[in-house]
Amino acid sequence: MAHKQFVIEGLGLCKSYGGKEVLRAENVAVSNGRITGIMGPSGAGKSTLLRIMSLLEAPSGGELSLFGSLVPVNKAEKQALLRRMTIVFQKPVLFDTTVFDNIAFGLRARRLPAGEIRTRVTASLKKIGLSGQGNQKARTLSGGEAQRVALARALVIEPEILFLDEPTSNLDPANVELLEGLLHDLNRERGTTIVMVTHNLFQARRLADDLLFLCQGELVEAGPAERVFQEPADMRTKAFVEGRMIY
Ligand SMILES: Nc1ncnc2c1ncn2[C@@H]1O[C@H](COP(=O)(O)OP(=O)(O)O)[C@@H](O)[C@H]1O
Ligand SMILES: [Mg+2]
């Protein structure tokens, strides 16, 4: 079922909690090297779909393929898949240590030489505008700075797929712009596949190449962002992109 251009493919994916179905997606495909936005009102199942695609949670039914491998795979294969991707959440989850150590975490886990780690972390601090703040305690950072560190920690391991769940919803406009710029560059310069949940239409317009639109647990529309915005096929998508649906 795998096609080279799709790094993620889902067929008939569904998820239930305590007998209540919260997600049903007949056909999901994420293209290699593109930015896919997952959009929809609150409670639509966006985070659930993201957790399934990033292997944080198993679907209740359906088939999921990552990089052409059908999941579930054995433990070693799952570990290998997990090493090729990473996730950033709405609230930055940082360790109570320095900014440097937070960013270096994944590199140390991969046993890279100390010199290489220093080079990569220093470059990454510069990229997120925190040069010279490597020794600062992470818990003393502002919200925007903390999210930039969370992103840097994800990027420094050079994932093939970066998942993000509403990464900018708690940030001020300047930090939103900075983060969006980092994501855009990452995608265009490194070709990293990005899958980002957002309920922000404007953000989706600015960043997404492709869109998945969820409504009440159902995947109701998928396609190139431009087409979805200009000619939504589903009435619910149309209501959402025209701002007539409350979210
Ligand atoms: N662990 C869980 N247990 C029970 N219900 C859950 C759980 N996670 C999510 N849900 C429910 O699934 C639905 C979709 O949630 P979610 O994927 O978080 O939506 P979104 O991210 O689009 O706001 C919601 O009704 C939510 O209450
Ligand atoms: Mg969510």
pLDDT value at position 2?
Answer: 43
For residue 45 and ligand 1, the question of a CB distance below 6 A is answered with yes
For residue 46 and ligand 1, the question of a CB distance below 6 A is answered with yes
Dist CA 122 CA 136 (whole Å): 14
Which range, of 15-19, 68-72, 189-193, averages the lowest pLDDT?
A: 68-72
Sign of CA dihedral 191, 223, 39, 201: positive
Q: Tell me how far apart the terminal alpha carbons of the chain are, to the nearest angstrom.
A: 35
Got the DSSP string for 210-231?
Answer: EEEEEETTEEEEEEEHHHHHHS
For residue 42 and ligand 1, the question of a CB distance below 6 A is answered with yes
Domains and CATH numbers, the chain: 6-97+161-241 (3.40.50.300)
- Whole-model pTM: value is 0.95
Question: Do residues 137 and 98 lie in contact, with contact meaning Cβ atoms separated by under 8 Å?
Answer: yes
Question: Which among 116, 129, 203 is positioned nearest to 158, based on CA atoms?
Answer: 116
Per-residue pLDDT tens for 202-216? 999 999 999 999 999
Q: Ligand 2 mean position to 113 CA, how many Å?
A: 37
Per-residue pLDDT tens for 97-120? 999 999 999 999 989 999 999 999
Residue 246 has pLDDT above 80, yes or no: no
Q: Which atom of ligand 1 is nearest to the CA of 165?
A: 21
Per-residue pLDDT tens for 132-179? 999 999 999 999 999 999 999 999 999 999 999 999 999 999 999 999
